[in-house]
Amino acid sequence: MTREVSRPQRLRGTIEIPGDKSISHRAVMFNALANGSATVTNLSGGADCTSTISIFRAMGVEIERSPGAAGRGDTVHITGVGMHGLIEPNEILDAGNSGTTTRLMSGLLAGRPIMTIITGDDSIRSRPMGRVIKPLRSMGAEISARNDGELAPIVFHGGDLHGIEYDMPVASAQLKSCLLLAGLRATGNTVIKQPDVSRDHTERMLEGMGANIEVNGLSVTTSASELTAADVEVPGDVSSAAFWIVAAAAHPDADITLSNVGVNPTRTGIFEVLRAMGVDIELINQRDVAGEPVADLRVRSSQLKGVDIDGDVVPLMIDEIPVIAVAAAMAEGTTRITDAAELRVKESDRISATVAWLKSAGVEHEEAEEGLTIHGGGRIQSAVADSFDDHRIAMSLAIAGLVSEGTIGIERSESVDISYPTFWRDLDTLSGVVA
């Protein structure tokens, strides 16, 4: 489906951001393996978390799901089966479009005395899985996969897990989490050494549920553990909030408030970059919810300027770079994004996808293997662009439409449902189309 978006006269209002997708996945996964029962509220309603729930149901975990209150995510009640209680499914496990589900489940399935197979859609079957399979094999897991162990479907045949010391080649929360979850069932210590900081939701939640977790700088150590079920109130997803932050900052007449947003410091590299670009972001009502820092965000129209984005901050905002390209196009001066090769292996090649719409919208740019350069000037022309079935590309195109000189047509716009099913409703609310 193609949807057209153009610039409204103003952007105003308060919206509640959907539950954080990363935390939602983990709340379901860890409670499914815990002893006891727990309730998770404000769960992300996207297709990715639905895939995670379906997989655990197929392996014998009782999960009840019901809609949340107006403006809130779903509520799920999970009865855990313990660290060793998953049963062999009678079907292939389908992760849909979710890389988080595929990679974290790999750590949970490795070394179990049952056979399991996990796969996903075309995107998942083309994304690199060797980065988790190789270290899991070194822990003793018996795993086979397409393309000599590089691509899904992935088959887990059992094996006896033992701890390892592993130097991660990239700063990836998915890889780190996968190995930590395998380490919870391994003999001896599992030590993960990161090249840079990555999201720490796994460490925070596992520690709160009683796992043996020790963080020392960039090194994380775990060992065999049992988990105790814990209720989780999922904060709003800062990656989803980033779209509205950019929209408000780049629009000439905007003042919006985003409620209940997670502001975990391993996720707020986007704030550092946007503030350097001149964005007016105010954190209100800062508090702590279930071990995660949360705040309301007020964002107003801002004078944007180009910046250089590179180094340690990139892993902390990798999912937000597509919408940063919109801010860069509307900024004065040049924005250079480097050290972002990971964008090539997301739900789409997000560098190529971003370059495609910049070209069609008349924004001057240059593409590089690990990033891109965008020459701003505040003009985004009318264009029709493909989302490549990538939710973050589709939403970035919508934000480009909100600040464009004409209209942006978004092909395959329904892909926003993967992470943000209420995106179009919220866009209409802020644009004044609906109350």
> How much is the average pLDDT of 391-407?
96
Burial class (CB in 10 A: 0-12, 13-18, 19+), 29: buried
Tokens of 125: 């079957």
pLDDT for res 69: 77
Q: Does 234 score more than 60 pLDDT?
A: yes
Q: What is the pLDDT of residue 71?
A: 67
Query: Mind giving me the DSSP string for 248-286?
Result: HHHSSSEEEEEEEEE--TTTTHHHHHHHHTT-EEEEEEE
The two domains 3-18+235-431 and 21-220 share their CATH topology (first three levels equal): yes
User: Residue 419: which pLDDT band, with cuts at 50, 70 and 90?
Assistant: confident
Q: pLDDT tens digits, residue range 244-263?
A: 999 999 999 999 999 999 99
Mean pLDDT of 33-51: 95
pLDDT tens, residue by residue, 310-341:
988 888 888 899 999 999 999 999 999 999 98
- The pLDDT value given to residue 435: 45
Query: Domain coordinates of the chain in residue numbers?
Result: 3-18+235-431, 21-220
Confidence of residue 56 (pLDDT cuts 50, 70, 90): very high
Encoded tokens for 51: 């895939």
pLDDT at 68 exceeding the cut of 90: no
Average pLDDT, the chain: 95
What confidence score (pLDDT) does residue 207 get? 95
The domain 21-220 having CATH identifier 2.60.120.10: the answer here is: no
Nearest C-alpha neighbor of 236 from the set 71, 429, 75, 415: 71
- Interval 375-380 mean pLDDT: 93
* Identity at 81, one-letter amino acid code: V
Instruction: Report CA-CA distances (Å) from 42 to 16, 231, 234, 260, 283.
Output: 10, 11, 5, 10, 21
Q: Catalytic residue positions? A: 319
Mean pLDDT within 198-219:
95
Residue 434: which pLDDT band, with cuts at 50, 70 and 90?
Answer: low
Q: Whole-model pTM? A: 0.86
- The answer regarding whether domain 3-18+235-431 maps to CATH 3.65.10.10 reads yes
| 88-99 average pLDDT score | 96
User: What's the rounded mean pLDDT across residues 174-195?
Assistant: 98
How many Cα atoms are found within 13 Å in the side-chain-facing hemisphere of 262?
28
pLDDT digits (tens, 9 = 90+) for 117-152: 999 999 999 999 999 999 999 999 999 999 999 999
Q: State residue 297 phi and psi, 5-degree precision.
A: -115, 130
